[in-house]
Homo-oligomer: A and B are copies of this chain.
Amino acid sequence: MNKISIKMLANELGLSISTVSKAISDSHEISATTKQKVKVLAEKLNYVPNHFASSLGKRKSKTIAVVIPEVVDSFFALAINGIESIAQKKGYHVSVYLTHESLEKEKMILKDFESGRVDGVLISISRETTCFNHFQNIINKGVPLVFFDRVPDEVDTFKIITNDYEIAYEATQQLIMKDCSKILFLSFSNILSITNNRLEGYKNALLDYKLKVSEKNILYFNNELKSDYLLLKKELKSPKRPDGILASVGKLTIPVYQVCEELKLNIPGDIQVISFSNLDMADFLNPPLSTVEQPAFELGRKAASILVDTLEKKTKHLQPEEIVINSTLVLRRSTKL
């Protein structure tokens, strides 16, 4: 109700608006005593500067956007924590936007950022993202953008990723060493580079160990619980069913465990499984899930650091660069000892 503005402070103190403004922002051209007076009154009246007015004047908002496909996902949730950890330290606000894996929503969201609403954006693209103008547009408007985890090759800017290829290779290798001869790869997108890199790692491991690479062993899920479930069930019911599974994304482990249970397939006896996942309960699943754990927090942290650093610089242009932070393979009992 009692909206108090800088003008009211000025009147009250018999000072000019500009003096008060400067005092509040600790300008060097204001004397210590005046600053003191202003601040005391501001405190007393519980004055909080209008965010829009100051953002408009300064042409920056001190907020960064985080655009992710989902939030009900340990990976992204942890990444947010990483981002927050540094944003807070540097005095930036973070706004989270969800695309729900929809390219359309992603476009809408980015379009909106052209309004200057945010100073910079951190984004992990949707599984549908096949065009890239919306990224370029906002970069062209002078809003720095850094991709993390799910990055597109087509846009030149900073990217923070993990070693998808290598770790998928390693995971596949692990399955092979434990005598898997028919390994299923669970993908949930044929366009995302992370998924494709993981797929490549998988394929090359197979090749290196003289195993057949077959398209039939690659299942593309479409993010719908029921159909994904049926797809997998059909596969595991087949007489020549796989004896190993590499799930390229955390949420795919739900159907895996479910189908195996229904089909009375023993993990790891009948079929071994490794999944990309950051689930903190992995240890207590039945059986405990062997995972490749991504450095989610660190990815977020790093991405935010890079972004904030360039925001603080005079030149807000990000030269293209790629930083990779390694994932780690954590073996539990869904693979043989």
A: which residues have CB within 8 A of B?
1-3, 46, 48-53, 55-56, 61, 63, 71-74, 77-78, 80-81, 84, 93-98, 111-112, 114-117, 137, 140-142, 253-254, 257-258, 261, 279-281, 283-288
Contact = CB atoms under 8 A, between A and B. Distances in A.
A284 B112 CA distance: 41
13 contacts: A1-B141, A3-B141, A3-B142, A49-B115, A50-B56, A52-B61, A53-B56, A71-B80, A95-B95, A96-B96, A254-B280, A254-B284, A286-B287
The CB with the most chain B CB atoms within 10 A, among A3, A50, A78, is that of A50
A95 B288 CA distance: 36
Which secondary structure dominates where chain A touches chain B? Answer: mixed
Contact of A52 (B48, B55, B279, B285): B55
Nearest to A287: B286
A1 B56 contact: no
Given A52-B61, A258-B283, A285-B286, 5 more contacts: A46-B137, A72-B280, A94-B96, A284-B285, A286-B286
A281 B283 CA distance: 12
Nearest to A296: B72
The CB with the most chain B CB atoms within 10 A, among A49, A72, A283, is that of A72
A111 B53 contact: no
A288 B288 CA distance: 13
Nearest to A57: B52
A77 B72 contact: yes
A50 to B, nearest CB: 5
A115 B48 contact: yes
Contact of A284 (B73, B283, B286): B286
A258 B284 CA distance: 8
Nearest to A285: B284
A320 to B, nearest CB: 18
Nearest to A277: B281
Nearest to A59: B52
Nearest to A58: B52
Contacts of A116: 50-52
Contacts of A261: 284
